[in-house]
Amino acid sequence: MTISGKTRVCGVIGDPIEHTLSPCMHNAAFEALGLDYVFLAFKVKPAFVADAVNGMRALNIRGLNVTMPHKHTVMANLDRIDLSAQLINSVNTILNKENLLFGFNTDGVGAVKALKENGVELKGRKVLLLGAGGAARAIAYAMAKEADELAVLNRTVKQAQALARLLEKSANKKIASGSLSPSDVQKNLQDSDILINATSIGMKPRPEETPVPPKLLRRDLSVMDIVYNPLETKLAKDAKAAGAKVISGVEMLIYQGAASFEIWTGKSAPVEVMRKAALNRLMKV
């Protein structure tokens, strides 16, 4: 990689940011397509989000990914925001086009693509989503459009209920909500076809945890855990042992990243290159 005065800069902002796989994934993609771009990670404290976004404009940074805890707060500093991102109050991708900053959310697109590319059909199915904050909101919005039924469970029930009411208006269908208690999980999982964990349960440093008792998992389920560190969570291991179809969290990471890549470059993302780079890095963690 040769960096010059013509090199376009993209990056990711968040706090913490040390764990991100985005630089290895995007830089591998830029190199594969011969694009004069570089991708960097920027640790931005919450008090400096506005400064960081204004700095993007001042430094002519082409694109940013936004991770926790900034997906909502960045919105106040953008010029235009995609309608779906407005609805869920969350932006994970910013495009700098002629000094105008455009906000998008590719998390939902990434989740849908991850499922479909791994042979999971959403039409006519019921999805049980665990979580109602962060990426979960974007996933819920996408699932409400694609699937026939959706239930959202969350530690804070009021947050799940508020998200369900919001989605009912936009999707014009009944959305169930509840808590992450074993009884609510069991009640909603028994007639679900697809289970998505969009909570942090099972993430390092507590990989022994799971949001779903193993006895509730069954062969006819499709299970996606968006946690990708560890590469195989306890939920994924339990689902595999039950004979369920398991989709790794790396898949959603790759496809949401690919959607961002295409927004910034206008080029089709080299998905296999991005997958290989992400997996190689995870193997070293």
Q: How many CB atoms lie within 10 A of CB 220?
A: 9
Residue type, 166: L
- Whether the CB-CB separation of 246 and 223 falls below 8 Å is answered with yes
CB 196 within 8 A of CB 224: yes
CA 123 to each of CA 113, 116, 147: distance values in angstroms, whole numbers, following the listed order: 13, 11, 5
From first CA to last CA, the distance across the chain in angstroms is 24
- Other C-beta atoms closer than 10 Å to the C-beta of 218 total 13
Is residue 126 flagged as an active site residue?
no
Give residue for tokens 């570089």. Answer: 38
Q: Name the burial class of residue 48, with classes exposed (0-12), middle (13-18) and buried (19+) by CB atoms within 10 angstroms of its CB.
A: middle
Task: Determine which one of 71, 113, 126, 234 is catalytic.
Answer: 71
3-state helix, strand, coil in the chain (%, to 5): 45, 20, 35
Task: Yes or no: say if 212 and 185 are a contact pair by the CB < 8 Å rule.
Answer: yes
Q: How far apart are CA 201 and CA 225, in angstroms?
A: 10
Residue 123 burial class via C-beta count within 10 angstroms: exposed 0-12, middle 13-18, buried 19 and up: exposed
Angle between helix 22-33 and 249-265 (nearest 10): 50
Q: Are 14 and 20 in contact (CB under 8 A)?
A: yes
**Catalytic residue ranges:** 71
